[in-house]
Amino acid sequence: MTFKYNNVYINETSTVVGPYESKGPFTKFFDKRYDDFYFGEKTWEQAEIKSIKDSVEILLNKLNIKNTNVDVHIGGDLLNQIVATNYASSKIGIPLIGIYSACSISTLGLMIASNMIEANQIKNAVVTASSHNNGAEKQFRNPVEYGGPKKDYTTFTTTGCAACYLSNIKSSIRVESATLGTVTDMGITDVFNMGAVMAPSAAKVISDHLKDTNRSIDYYDLILTGDLGIIGKMILKDYIKKEYNINLKNYDDSACMIFDINKQPVYSGGSGPACLPLVTYTYIFDKMKKGKLNKVLLVATGALMNTGMCNQHLSIPSISHAISLEVVK
């Protein structure tokens, strides 16, 4: 399912990050950086709540508007019952649509906001996506201080929140179209190999998008997937060629970009709902505004993992959503 938009623009973005992202290659782009995992709060979960609150505050300050001027806040995170977004929203005070689609929250949020703006139901919206490394480790894996051995191909959840303001007021970046993803399950049970879990759903949504829009892959200056990591990136390239006969050329993966993989202890790259928007709203938008990129397809990839279901020996399903952004000339 692909939606076309004529009247949706991205006006402003804001980013808040934790210690590892601050030491990464895009540090100069981020609006707010924290040196530890607590952000001055008592727990990691509360730190994530703060990162969402901070990012929306910074966004509204940049736009010089109040929370009452925003029609809808669409957001999500990885914690159970998307608790970070819910608690942050009680302080933000904008009507909330809480969403969950694992690490593909960012593009799903942009899609829902764009649909509502295009249909004239709302004038503007704030979309957030956040994650917290230690919060996610605590929920999905072992206690953080346990430091159980991990495989080299595992990914490292990003800490931070990325917020984006969309409206029908013209700006330099336009949301052109979006394709809703389909849940795929190719039988992968390895909880460390998230790239392998997510690559099939990314391939499916890219193929669906190109079919629905009648485009070839060369139409885009860049296809940016969410958090496949080094291994997942190679798997996607091979799989999409074999299954859909698509030759990915102008392609990168934000998990491989957000950290300095050779120097930082992040295994096979970043992950988490915040990974793709943190890279997109900073480095990619900077390139788009400078005219180096014109048409970008964002494909946020989400592994719909649940530890209980994994213990029942079920394989991990995955979903990816694609959104096409264009520079307005």
The structure tokens 């990314």 sit at 202
The CA-atom distances, in angstroms, between 130 and each of 104, 244, 271 are 11, 32, 11
Specify the 3-state DSSP secondary structure of 203: helix
Binding mask 145-164 for other proteins (x = CB under 8 A): xxxxxxxxx-----------
Pick between residue 152 and residue 218 the one whose CB is nearest to other proteins.
152
Shortest distance in whole angstroms from residue 234 CB to other proteins: 5
- Using the CB atoms, write b or e for 198-211: b if 16+ within 10 Å: bbbbbbbbbbbbbe
Pick between residue 145 and residue 218 the one whose CB is nearest to other proteins.
145
- Residue 308 touching other proteins (CB under 8 A): no
Shortest distance in whole angstroms from residue 160 CB to other proteins: 21
DSSP 8-class letter at 26? T
Pick between residue 235 and residue 288 the one whose CB is nearest to other proteins.
235
Tell me how many degrees the CA angle 51-251-292 measures, rounded to the nearest 5: 80
Binding mask 24-63 for other proteins (x = CB under 8 A): ------------------xx--------------------
Looking at 181-189, 213-221, 287-295, 319-327, which segment touches other proteins (CB under 8 A)?
Answer: 181-189
Pick between residue 13 and residue 184 the one whose CB is nearest to other proteins.
184
Pick between residue 144 and residue 248 the one whose CB is nearest to other proteins.
144
- Using the CB atoms, write b or e for 239-277: b if 16+ within 10 Å: bbeeebebebebbebbbbbbbebeebebbbbbbbbbbbb
- Residue 143 touching other proteins (CB under 8 A): yes
Number of chain residues interacting with other proteins (CB under 8 A)? 28
Considering only residues 83, 97, 191, 234, which one is a binding residue for other proteins as defined by CB under 8 A? 234
Q: Is 155 left (phi over 0), alpha (psi -120 to 50) or beta?
A: beta
Pick between residue 235 and residue 257 the one whose CB is nearest to other proteins.
235
Name which of residues 81 to 110 contact other proteins (CB under 8 A): none
Binding mask 183-222 for other proteins (x = CB under 8 A): ---xxx----x--x---x----------------------
For the chain, strand residue ranges (E) read: 2-4, 9-17, 32-33, 72-76, 96-98, 124-131, 156-157, 160-167, 173-179, 222-225, 251-253, 270-271, 295-303, 318-327
Cα–Cα distance measured from residue 15 to residue 283, given in angstroms and rounded to the nearest whole number: 12
Instruction: List residues near other proteins by CB under 8 A.
Output: 42-43, 138, 142-153, 186-188, 193, 196, 200, 231, 234-235, 238-239, 242-243
